[in-house]
Structure 1
Amino acid sequence: MAEKKKAGAFDIRVMIALLIGIYGLVLTILGIVEKQTEIDKAAGININLWGGIGMLVFTALFVLWARLRPIVVPVEEDATGE
């Protein structure tokens, strides 16, 4: 019978969360330091800040999903049985 191993860091959900998290962090920082004139152009909504926060929440949910429901990959034995 083949052993089972978790995908861990190679899970695609972790990679997606990492990329979205980096973009979310950059947008959140840009939203914090945004000038009021730029915010006024977007009908008074700090879109960078809200978009960044949304991406960070998405990242947290993806990481939580990957931790709670890990992908299990069967590990096959080699020809020597080791």
Structure 2
Amino acid sequence: MPANEVQNKQTHNAGVFDIRNIIGALLGIYGVILVLMGIFGDPETDKTGGPNANLWAGLVMLVVGIVFIAWSRLRPVKVPETTD
């Protein structure tokens, strides 16, 4: 199929069903939980050798979740309206 025919077909964004949104939301939720546990819970620094593992892991998960959601917003998946 030539590229012109693909561009002429009607498409829409995958939206909430894009797997990047689901992964980003799950990572964000788990990240918030870990950050809260790192701030308010027992840091147990003797087990980790110094750093607060819950806090740092939660912050990383939040950043990765935000990257996934931003990625899905900036480069959405185009789904054709009809299939052949």
Task: Quickly name the TM-score band, shorter chain normalised.
Answer: 0.7 to 0.9
Q: CA RMSD in A?
A: 1.5
Rounded Cα–Cα distance in structure 2 between residues aligned with 1:9 and 1:35? 36
> How do 1:1-80 and structure 2 match up within 5 A?
2-35=9-42, 38-76=44-82
Tell me the SS of whatever aligns to 1:70: coil
Q: Mind listing any 5+ residue stretches in structure 2 that lack a counterpart?
A: 1-7
Q: Distance in 2 between matches of 1:49 and 1:69?
A: 30
The offset of 1:34, in angstroms, is 2.9
Moved over 4 A (4+): none
May I ask how many residue pairs the two structures share in their alignment? 76
Structure-1-length-normalised TM-score: 0.85
- Between the aligned partners of 1:44 and 1:35, the Cα distance in structure 2 is 13
